[in-house]
Amino acid sequence: MGQALEQTPNLPYYLFRNEQAMVHAAAAFAKASFRMRTMVCTTSIGPGATNMVTGAAAATVNRLPVLLLPGDLFARRNVAPVLQQLESPATQDISVNDSFKPVSRYWDRIQRPEQLLTSLPEALRVLTSPAETGAVTLCLPQDVQAEAFDFPEEFFRERVWSIPRNRCDEKLLERAAEWIRGSKRPLIVAGGGVLYSEASEALSLFAKETGIPVCETQAGKGALPYDHPQEVGAVGVTGTPGANILAKEADLILGIGTRYSDFTTASKTAFQNPSVRFININISEFDAYKHAALSLTSDARVMITELQHAVAGYRVEEKYQAKITGFRAAWEKEVDRIYGLRQDSPITQAEVIGIVNNFTEASDIMVCAAGSMPGDLHKLWRTRQPGGYHMEYGYSCMGYEIAGGLGVKMAYPKREVYVLVGDGSYLMMAQEIVTALQEGCKLNIVLLDNHGFSSIGGLSQSCGNEGMGTEYRYRRGGKYKGDILPVDFEANAASLGAWTVRARTGEELTTALQCSRQQQRTSVVVVETAYDQRVPGYESWWDVPIAEVSEREAVKDARKNYEAARKKERYFF
Ligand SMILES: Cc1ncc(C[n+]2csc(CCOP(=O)(O)OP(=O)(O)O)c2C)c(N)n1
Ligand SMILES: [Mg+2]
């Protein structure tokens, strides 16, 4: 593989520090490009290969195309066991690369060069399929990689894969239009599919014309700009009060490009109207059929437009529109209030989000993935352009942030990329700062240092516990109750070559953002934030099972509340 890449200068090669990060970057590149481009990731055998498994899972969960070419064991076997080989006494037809099978949408092992003739077309079919896409893994045994084969020339001819905008059955479309016309309280749930189908404009028109409110999932956020008159913001566990109340009361949910994750459905408690029905527009039949929906298995953009014609003349009632407008105004006030809160160091995460949100420009891209920030950002971030909010919350994989930011920057070298990363995620995977410097890909990284896992600590407390094992403190008396570990993130990032600065207050943060934007190289602004000050949840719930038996009163109480809350979980038949 290396030999081929060296002699093929028109296929650019990027050296990464960690194979998992490399896959995150490739997936982020694809996500930022609305899945119209991707990259190929290749590795050695053994640990180099299995390091990609987490990245593959993140790509597949998020339905993002990446082509993975891990090395594999000698097909001829006579020299086995080779360095890094996992032997099996039961079969010789196995390697660590078999662990890619459940996290890949297509998997193959190329035991003979000519197998590429049949395997590569399948790989490309899956990568370019809007319904099937995800990680595609072709394992390349070490010896087979070096073999020659006389491939037919036609195989190398440029081939264009057209991505279809499939339409659904006409009768189903008519029925969907009837359902919408008969609905008093409809609500659109916009998922990532709206963005991938580049359907924002169509959705905007449809919502304006019909008056149907639109709420957004993490992957769908930014489908409409935050100031669109029908946009009611985030839905679900990390949702806004307006969206969640509308979801609770809705008689019709029009789910577009959503896979209805538990964060969207509030663990199946979000939709409480006894007669609620679902219409799902989804390119993937699997998703289209969820919640016993009237399934319009189709491309989002064409279907929204066709549905708009089919319901021409329909508009929600005045009092429903008034309610939507009221929710929107109340939420904007709440965001202003939260953004406006000021305190001495350590400042709150919400203040940091507000300052970064207000500082950035409409064309900038914000990247985040795990910890407590996704929840706050889903609610609070005012997205102005589709794609401006780049959140990996399908796998919510710590470590995606900086690597993903790099992939986004590779997709849009002229746009400013802001990576919001927690101290936990940073410590897990910060090394791609070196790659960003190497490639001249400038990232604006804002590192929120709250000395531990605030998200998981908060979750633990909400279950009646004390957040065991979530604070970065010295072990004292057998517990992490000692002083805070003095991790110097500024020095750490500087040692990798980044431009760094520490900000203690809101004012200092604003100045730091101004300075970092002017830098030519990747910058890291380190802000200490309060571990225990969190943005509340609004009108929602998440199923986190609580111990049925405990010696703690707080846990027993939490269990009682849990059992009551679970009663609201619904099945849809
Ligand atoms: C790779 C990986 N391991 C574990 C988790 C579970 N997890 C989710 S958030 C979190 C803590 C994140 O810490 P930090 O980045 O500091 O963010 P904070 O919670 O402090 O906002 C953990 C351990 C995860 N999402 N990804
Ligand atoms: Mg943290």
Helices within 211-343 (DSSP H only): 241-249, 262-265, 285-288, 300-310, 318-340
Q: Which ligand is nearest to the CA of 376?
A: 1
Residue 424 CB less than 6 A away from ligand 1: yes
Token pair, residue 539, equals 């009108």
For residue 110, the CA-to-ligand 1 centroid distance in Å is 37
Q: What integer is the mean pLDDT of 183-200? A: 98
Distance between CA 384 and CA 225 in Å, rounded?
5
Closest CA to 25 of 372, 397, 341, 381: 397
Residue 396 CB less than 6 A away from ligand 1: yes
For residue 27, the CA-to-ligand 1 centroid distance in Å is 20
pTM: 0.98
Is there a contact between 260 and 295 (Cβ–Cβ < 8 Å)?
Answer: no
Distances in Å between the Cα of 6 and the Cα atoms of 2, 15, 116, 135 are 6, 13, 21, 25
* DSSP per residue, 493-538: HHHHT-EEEEE-SHHHHHHHHHHHHH-SS-EEEEEEB-TT--PPP-
What are 214-223's pLDDT values in tens digits? 999 999 999 9
Buried b (16+ CB within 10 A) or exposed e, 432-466: bbbbbbebebbbbbbbbbbbbbbbbbbbbbbbbbe
Residue 124 CB less than 6 A away from ligand 1: no
Phi and psi angles of residue 301, each rounded to the nearest 5 degrees, phi first: -65, -50
For residue 271, the CA-to-ligand 2 centroid distance in Å is 32
For residue 222, the CA-to-ligand 2 centroid distance in Å is 26
Distances in Å between the Cα of 307 and the Cα atoms of 147, 201, 282 are 54, 14, 14
Quote helix, strand, coil % in the chain, to nearest 5. 40, 15, 45
Residue with CA closest to ligand 1 atom 17:
371
Residue 405 CB less than 6 A away from ligand 1: no
What are 389-440's pLDDT values in tens digits? 999 999 999 999 999 999 999 999 999 999 999 999 999 999 999 999 999 9
Evaluate if residue 251 carries a pLDDT over 90.
yes
Helix (H) or strand (E) holding 171: helix 170-181
Q: What integer is the mean pLDDT of 507-531? A: 98
Specify which residues 108 forms β-bridges with.
138
Is there a contact between 555 and 465 (Cβ–Cβ < 8 Å)?
Answer: yes
Q: Which ligand is nearest to the CA of 396?
A: 1
Per-residue pLDDT at 74: 97
Residues in the chain: 573
Distance between CA 41 and CA 124 in Å, rounded?
15
At residue 557 the predicted structure's pLDDT band, cuts being 50, 70 and 90, is very high
What are 142-182's pLDDT values in tens digits? 999 999 999 999 999 999 999 999 999 999 999 999 999 99
Share of the chain above pLDDT 90, in %: 99
Token pair, residue 224, equals 């409409």
Evaluate if residue 246 carries a pLDDT over 90.
yes
Share of the chain above pLDDT 70, in %: 100
For residue 457, the CA-to-ligand 2 centroid distance in Å is 10
Q: Which ligand is nearest to the CA of 398?
A: 1
Per-residue pLDDT at 511: 98
Report the atom number in ligand 1 closest to the C-alpha of 449: 16
Residue with CA closest to ligand 1 atom 1:
398
Residue 425 CB less than 6 A away from ligand 1: yes
Out of 453, 454, 460, mutate this one to test ligand 1's pocket (max ligand atoms within 8 Å of CB): namely 453
* DSSP per residue, 260-292: --HHHHTTTTS---TT-EEEEEESSHHHHTGGG
Helix (H) or strand (E) holding 104: none
Q: What is the largest CA-CA distance in the chain?
A: 77
For residue 205, the CA-to-ligand 1 centroid distance in Å is 38
For residue 398, the CA-to-ligand 1 centroid distance in Å is 6
What are 312-332's pLDDT values in tens digits? 999 999 999 999 999 999 999
Residue 348 CB less than 6 A away from ligand 1: no
Lookup result for tokens 């089919």: 310
Report the atom number in ligand 1 closest to the C-alpha of 54: 1
Provide the residues around ligand 2 (an ion) whose CB is within 5 A: 422-424, 450
At residue 459 the predicted structure's pLDDT band, cuts being 50, 70 and 90, is very high
Per-residue pLDDT at 134: 98
At residue 65 the predicted structure's pLDDT band, cuts being 50, 70 and 90, is very high
Lookup result for tokens 């794609």: 387
Report CA Rg, the chain: 25
Query: Mapped to the 3 state alphabet, what secondary structure does 378-422 carry?
Result: HHHCCCCCCCCEEECCCCCCCCHHHHHHHHHHHHCCCCCEEEEEE
The mean pLDDT of the chain is 97
Q: Which ligand is nearest to the CA of 467?
A: 1
Residue 516 CB less than 6 A away from ligand 1: no
Residue 530 CB less than 6 A away from ligand 1: no
Closest CA to 219 of 374, 364, 102: 374
3-class SS at 444? strand
At residue 9 the predicted structure's pLDDT band, cuts being 50, 70 and 90, is confident
